[in-house]
Each structure stands twice: as C-alpha cells, then as structure tokens.
Amino acid sequence: MGSMSGKTAFITGAAGGIGRATAHALACEGVSLMLVDLDAAGLEITREEIARHGNGVAVSRTDIADAKAVEAAVDETVARFGRLDMAHNNAGLLGPIVDLVNYPLDKARTLFDVNVLGLLHCLQPQIRHMLQSGGGSIVNTASVSGVHAVPNISVYTAMKHAVIGLTKAAAAEYSSRGIRVNCVCPGFVLTNMTKGHFNAETESILVAQHPIGRFAQPEEIAEAVVWLLSDRASFSAGSALFVDGGQTI
Ligand SMILES: NC(=O)c1ccc[n+]([C@@H]2O[C@H](COP(=O)([O-])OP(=O)(O)OC[C@H]3O[C@@H](n4cnc5c(N)ncnc54)[C@H](O)[C@@H]3O)[C@@H](O)[C@H]2O)c1
C-alpha cells in the first residue's frame, strides 16, 4: 500500500486473532504500532513478532471499558510516535451463548461496556487527535451480526448493530474534516473467540452458512482492514464492508 510507511496506528484486541493479523499486515507496510489489549501475555507475543519488522512498536495493557485508561493509551501513542494516523478498534467479546429470555443481565452490561462504550472510548480521543493533526482513518470491527440475527447471541447482535451505527455516525460527523471511519463485518473467523466453542454438528451448520464452504483466517479480515485504512480507500466513509464468505448473500 506504499503510502502507509512512516505512519502510526493504534490497534485494540491486538493480543491475538484479527487484531494480531492486522498488526502484522500494517507492520509489513512500514507502520509503527501501539498494540492494546487486556491480555498482557498475548500482547507480548504480538510485540515480539512485530519487532522483527523493524518499525516502532509499543504495547499497552488497557481495558477499553475504562475511558480514562484508553485516553491515556491514545495520548501515549502520540507522545511516543509523534502522531496518530490510523486506528483499528477491534477488541470485543462474544459473551454467553444463551437464549434471550435467560440472558444474564450482568453479562449484557459487560458486553455493552466493552463492545459499545469501549468503542466510543477509543473513538473520542482518536478523533480529537486526528482533528488536531488534520485527518486520519479508522476501521471498527463489526460483524455479520451487525445486520443479521441468529439465535442465542442476542446481546452480541445488538452490540454489533451499534458498532455499525457508531461507525456511520462518526463518518457523518467527521468525513468533511479528513477523518474516514469505516467498519468490517467478518463472517465466522477461526480465532480464540470461536475455536472450540461449538460442537462438530454446530460447526458444520455454521460452515454451511458460508457459500465459500469454510471459515475465514484472521489474515483474510486484516487485508480488508488495511485496505480501508489506506488511502486506496479514499472514497470510503461510513461503509460496512462484508468479508464473510458470502454469509450475508
Ligand atoms: N471470530 C469471529 O468469528 C468474528 C466474527 C465477526 C466479528 N468478530 C469480531 O472481531 C473482533 C476480534 O475478535 P477475534 O475473533 O480476533 O477474537 P479474539 O478473542 O482473538 O480477540 C478479541 C480480543 O479483544 C480483547 N479484549 C476483550 N475485552 C477487552 C477489553 N475490555 N479491553 C481490551 N481488550 C479486550 C481480548 O483479550 C482479545 O485479545 C471482535 O470485535 C469480534 O467481535 C469476530
């Protein structure tokens, strides 16, 4: 993608899965990275892998549900690398797999704190910095659950609809000031969030929902994230890009 070299990106959920894959893809483009997650051990693995690319890399063990901590991590990114050009707001929780009537309310609140408020906590300081520096590009991780519903993940579904809503709202407010905000909507991706959570019968039902005939690897989602972050997506704003093996056809 060329033009990304020398830029700085902030990635949440960088301790594994899609976030780690985005970190690798951006590092290959010459981008310096602030890697954010709750999982310190996973962050350290990503940091060691990324350091081999020779660009700047820093980690912050931060809970995105804590607004002040996220603001401090964004400030630290700018203090350390001198700028913030891009963000992949990707950290999220799946939560319980249970019917709506029995959904535990404390777990629903946690999901709201992380998947929705956590995203807002990231967007606010990121956009403030980008307004000061003249622009930037942000990609949020939504899901096919941002437009479709399947049984037993009702709260996750509601929260991913909200991620698409926040993405559109941010794009409506800030596109004219040089900040592009988009989201990706992955289908089923093989990561810690999904591996081993479903029995063989459920897995084959889930595979059958993807016309492409398999689940995604995290790197296939990262490709779309990097494109949306890059100047090559210069006319994309407020979009929800499906990378779902045809699941939403
Ligand atoms: N795996 C899939 O099938 C799939 C499909 C669609 C969307 N997604 C979304 O992709 C994103 C990444 O998930 P993944 O599949 O890579 O799974 P993952 O579990 O590997 O990654 C999620 C990361 O978020 C981190 N995290 C959770 N709560 C946090 C908090 N409060 N503060 C900071 N970090 C926190 C976790 O520690 C973890 O490293 C999530 O938003 C998820 O909802 C995943």
Interval 169-191: pLDDT, tens: 999 999 999 999 999 999 999 99
- 55 within some domain: yes
Q: Which of 42, 54, 52 is nearest to 12 (CA)?
A: 42
Mean pLDDT of 219-243: 98
- We report the CATH number of the domain holding residue 175 as 3.40.50.720
Of the pLDDT bands very low, low, confident and very high (cuts 50, 70, 90), residue 200 is confident
Res. 232: pLDDT tops 80: yes
Residue 203's pLDDT is: 87
Residue 202's pLDDT is: 85
Percent above pLDDT 70 for the chain: 99
Q: Which helix (H) or strand (E) holds 12?
A: strand 8-12
- 208 within some domain: no
245 CA to middle of ligand 1, Å?
A: 19
Greatest alpha-carbon span in the chain: 52
Please indicate whether residue 54 or residue 112 has the higher confidence score (pLDDT).
112
Q: Which of 118, 211, 112, 210 is nearest to 154 (CA)?
A: 112
Residue 195's pLDDT is: 86
The one-letter code for the residue type at 62 is: T
Q: Read out DSSP for 126-145?
A: HHHHHHHHT-EEEEEE--GG
Q: Where do the DSSP E strands lie in 142-249?
A: 179-186, 240-243
Interval 46-71: pLDDT, tens: 999 999 998 999 999 999 999 999 99
Query: CA of 77: how far to CAs of 9, 22, 74, 109, 114, in Å?
Result: 8, 17, 5, 29, 21
**Number of structural domains, the chain?**
1
Catalytic residues: 156
CB 159 within 8 A of CB 112: yes
User: In whole angstroms, what is the distance from residue 44 CA to residue 67 CA?
Assistant: 23
Res. 1: pLDDT tops 70: no
Residue 96's pLDDT is: 95
pTM of the model: 0.98
User: In whole angstroms, what is the distance from residue 12 CA to residue 33 CA?
Assistant: 11
Res. 197: pLDDT tops 90: no
Interval 12-29: pLDDT, tens: 999 999 999 999 999 999
Residue 2's pLDDT is: 53
Residue 199's pLDDT is: 83
15 CA to middle of ligand 1, Å?
A: 9
Residue 160's pLDDT is: 98
Ligand 1: nearest atom to the Cα of 190: 1
Domain of residue 181, residue span: 8-186+221-243
Residue 83's pLDDT is: 96
- Mutate which of 37, 121, 144 to test ligand 1's pocket (most atoms within 8 Å of Cβ)? 37
193 CA to middle of ligand 1, Å?
A: 6
Res. 165: pLDDT tops 60: yes
Interval 66-98: pLDDT, tens: 999 999 999 999 999 999 999 999 999 999 999
- 231 within some domain: yes
User: In whole angstroms, what is the distance from residue 18 CA to residue 112 CA?
Assistant: 20
The one-letter code for the residue type at 243 is: V
Q: Which of 7, 122, 139, 138 is nearest to 62 (CA)?
A: 122
The token pair at 48 is: 């060691």
CB 143 within 8 A of CB 93: no
- Mutate which of 10, 18, 117 to test ligand 1's pocket (most atoms within 8 Å of Cβ)? 18
Res. 208: pLDDT tops 70: yes
